[in-house]
Amino acid sequence: MYGEYVKNFDRAMELVNAWLERSSQFKVIVHEVQREEACGSLTLQHHMLEPVQRIPRYELLLKDYLLNLPQDSPDHGDAEKSLQLIATAAEHSNAAIRKMERMHKLLKVYELLGGEEDIVSPTNELIKEGHILKLSAKSGMTQDRYLILFNDRLLYCVPKLRLIGQKFSVRARMTLSGMELKDSSSSLNLPRTFLVCGKQRSLELQARTEEEKKDWIQAIQVTISRHEQTLETCRLINSSHREEDQTPPSSPNTDLGKRAPTPIREKEVTMCMRCQEPFHSITKRRHHCKACGHVVCGKCSEFRARLFYDNNRTNRVCVECFTALHGSPSSSTGFQQQTPQRRRSILEKQASVVAENSIICSFLHYMEKGGKSWQKAWFVIPENEPLVLYIYGAPQDVKAQRSIPLIGFELGAPDAGDRVERRNTFKISQSHLSLYFSAETEELQRRWAAVLGRAGRGLDCLPPHCILEADEECQGSETA
């Protein structure tokens, strides 16, 4: 009875206050009762609060009583038993309050979604909710979105157009089973970004602050861990019915079509990731393979396949994914069976793969001596080829546009007559070839200059911060 009273207390208090404002007759009656001597000049709300506070008061009084009670007192045993009973009652009431608070939160989210999502259930627990930015896979532009994290799923919502009150519509429902998180800030050179890779969909998200990003990542990771522990407990309980545990662990190949891929943003690619032909806005447009997420041309993605993660709906897929899912394409499609792949050189390796094991990589603007305009490109110096500079059109291109052996190049500043109009510039030159570079920041300029300076002298390249420290230590020495 006490637990029911505590659970209903907030609603009862709201009801009393609402009727005090709504009904003058109710207000008169309440004021008449409060003027009676038995009420002690206290309000109805105060008397309603007394039972809620009574059990915690008993607990505090008994604790204080035991602190001042001698150990040999005949009342000591009964006092300890009383404290245990009261503590149990207090915990019961606190649990009832927490349960009611969780239900209130679920109801608020239920109203926020316009009653479209069936989430009001004792088994559901709201973990975190809030606005976040989503990066478009096509344009890379940020879009305002709303995430709602439960103990077993993540709802990805979009704002509804309403004149009064904020409402959201669920765009995607992502289960926590098999969900993975990846920090994409460094790999994509975008601040405060991270990837949520689920079986149903993958999202590239951007937080407004580093603290917000940290909170979201921590909340999702902890919830995934708890969800996996719950599933493992259920599997152990029903061990006699386990059949999935006998199958080998999944791999990227076996997951093809079974979980949503992580899409590569279109502006990160300048050529088809299958045939390596450059894209053109009219004659060779960009398309996403819905199985692997690669950006491919229309010719390489003219196949259709049913994908399990999308409720077996037909989706556009590339030729390699179609072959993996259904075997070699028929001759009627115009594709011939592909020959075994040869080992590709680094010029034909994806820029993002090379960048993962690189000494330094970033966007730079560059121009050859005598050139008329600056070009923006993605530059990489791999760890396994520390004396070669590779130039890619974008961070996800599958083939480099150009490679430059760095031995013999001299590092320097642009000459006065070079007419360099950009900031944070430097150049490397060798005989008749000179290349000018412009970095976004002065710090990035220093890092590139340190790496290129060592590579030009034929020295093994260290990470940029180690090079700067080493150069500072040996400045002025004859060996340097």
Q: Which residue has the higher pLDDT, 149 or 395?
A: 149
373 closest CA partner among 464, 281, 438: 438
pLDDT digits (tens, 9 = 90+) for 163-178: 566 789 888 888 888 8
At the top level of CATH, which class does the domain 346-473 belong to? mainly beta
pLDDT at 249: 44
Tokens of 464: 């940029």
CATH architecture of the domain formed by 126-234: Roll (2.30)
Q: Which residue type sits at 458?
A: G
Confirm or reject CATH 1.20.900.10 for domain 2-112, answering yes or no.
yes
The DSSP code sequence of 160-224 is ---SSS--EEEEEEEESTT-EEEE-TTTTT-TTEEEEE-SS-EEEEE-SSHHHHHHHHHHHHHHH
Q: Which residue has the higher pLDDT, 185 or 467?
A: 185
pLDDT digits (tens, 9 = 90+) for 445-458: 999 999 998 888 88
Question: Mean pLDDT across the stretch 71-99?
Answer: 86
pTM metric for this prediction: 0.56
Domain ranges, ordered by start, for the chain: 2-112, 126-234, 266-333, 346-473
Q: Percentage of the chain surpassing pLDDT 70?
A: 84
Residues 6+ apart with CB under 8 A from 365: 374, 375, 376, 377, 422, 437, 438
Question: Mean pLDDT across the stretch 272-281?
Answer: 85
Q: 155: pLDDT confidence band, cut at 50, 70 and 90?
A: very high
pLDDT at 333: 47
CATH topology of domain 266-333: Herpes Virus-1 (3.30.40)
**Fold matches, 2-112 and 266-333:** no
User: In sequence order, what are the beta bridge partners of 382?
Assistant: 358
Cα distance between residue 474 and residue 480, in whole Å:
6
pLDDT digits (tens, 9 = 90+) for 322-341: 888 887 765 444 444 444 44
Residue 71, classed as helix, strand or coil, is coil
pLDDT digits (tens, 9 = 90+) for 107-120: 888 888 887 777 87
Q: 461: pLDDT confidence band, cut at 50, 70 and 90?
A: low
Question: Mean pLDDT across the stretch 93-104?
Answer: 75
Q: 380: pLDDT confidence band, cut at 50, 70 and 90?
A: very high
Mean pLDDT score across all residues of the chain: 81
Tokens of 116: 């479209």
Question: Mean pLDDT across the stretch 469-480?
Answer: 44
